[in-house]
Structure 1
Amino acid sequence: MDWEGLIRTFLEDVIGFLPRLIAALVIFVAMLILSALAARWVRRAGQVKIKDPETLRALSLLTRWGVLIVGVIVALDQVDFDVTGFLAGLGVLGFTVGFALQDIARNFVAGILLLIQQPFDIGDAVKVGEFTGKVVDIRLRDTVIQTWDGELAIVPNIEVYTRPIVNYSDRPLRRRTIRVGVGYEEDIGRAAKVFLETVRQIDGVLADPAPTVMVEGLGDSAVELVIRFWLNQETHSLIEVHSQAVQAIKEAAEREGIEIPYPTVRVIGEGAG
Structure 2
Amino acid sequence: MLSDIEPLRILQFELARLAGSFVALVPNLVAALVVLVLTWALARYGWRGEARLLRRWHQRPALIAAARTLTRSLIWISGLAVTAVLVFPGMSATNVVAGLGVGSLVVGLAFKDIFENYLAGLLILLRRPMKIGDDILCEGIEGQVERINIRDTYLRRRSGELVLVPNAFIYRNPTTVLTDQPLRRITLELGVAYGTDLEQARSVLCEALEGLSTVDASRKTEVFCLGFGDSSIDFVLRWWTGSTPVEELRSRDEVARAVRRALDTAGIDIPFPQRTLSFLEPVPLEGTHGDQR
Structure 1 residue 23: deviation in Å? Answer: 12
Question: Which runs of 5 or more structure 2 residues have no equivalent in the other structure?
Answer: 1-15, 289-293
Counterpart-to-counterpart distance in 1, 2:43 and 2:164: 36
TM-score (norm 1): 0.79
Give the counterpart of 2:114 among 99, 104, 109: 104
Distance 1:241 1:67, change over 3 A: same
CA RMSD of aligned residues (A): 3.7
| Matched letter for residue 122 of structure 1 | I
Give 2:98's aligned residue. Answer: 88
Q: Which is greater in Rg?
A: 2
Counterpart-to-counterpart distance in 1, 2:113 and 2:43: 31
Q: Does 1:158 align with 2:168?
A: yes
Tell me the alpha carbon deviations over residues 1-48 of structure 1, each in whole angstroms, 9 at most, x when there is no partner.
Answer: xxxxx9xxx8xx97xx979x8799689849954873434423662583
Question: Which runs of 5 or more structure 1 residues have no equivalent in the other structure?
Answer: 1-5
Q: Does 1:212 align with 2:222?
A: yes
Q: What secondary structure does 1:237 align onto?
A: helix
Q: What secondary structure does 1:175 align onto?
A: strand
Q: Kindly report which structure 2 residues correspond to 1:79-228, keeping only aligned pairs within 5 A, or say none.
A: 81-228=91-238
TM-score (norm 2): 0.74
Q: In 2, are the aligned partners of 1:110 and 1:161 still within 8 Å (CA)?
A: yes
Count residues in correspondence. 263
Counterpart-to-counterpart distance in 1, 2:39 and 2:183: 52
Q: What secondary structure does 1:170 align onto?
A: coil
Tell me the alpha carbon deviations over residues 53-97 of structure 1, each in whole angstroms, 9 at most, x when there is no partner.
Answer: xx6434323223324434554677789751221232344444333
Give the counterpart of 1:49 among 49, 54, 59: 59
Structure 1 residue 240: deviation in Å? Answer: 0.8
Give the counterpart of 2:251 among 213, 236, 241: 241
Counterpart-to-counterpart distance in 1, 2:61 and 2:180: 17
- Percent of counterpart pairs with the same letter? 29
Q: In 1, are the aligned partners of 2:39 and 2:76 still within 8 Å (CA)?
A: no
Q: What secondary structure does 2:47 align onto?
A: helix
Give 1:62's aligned residue. Answer: 70
| Matched letter for residue 141 of structure 1 | R
Q: In 1, are the aligned partners of 2:54 and 2:64 still within 8 Å (CA)?
A: no
Counterpart-to-counterpart distance in 2, 1:247 and 1:56: 50
Tell me the alpha carbon deviations over residues 220-268 of structure 1, each in whole angstroms, 9 at most, x when there is no partner.
Answer: 211111111112448x822211221111111211122111111111123
Q: In 2, are the aligned partners of 1:39 and 1:64 still within 8 Å (CA)?
A: no
Structure 1 residue 191: deviation in Å? Answer: 1.4
Distance 1:129 1:39, change over 3 A: farther
Between 193-202 and 70-79, the greater mean CA deviation after superposition: 70-79
Q: Does 1:229 align with 2:210?
A: no
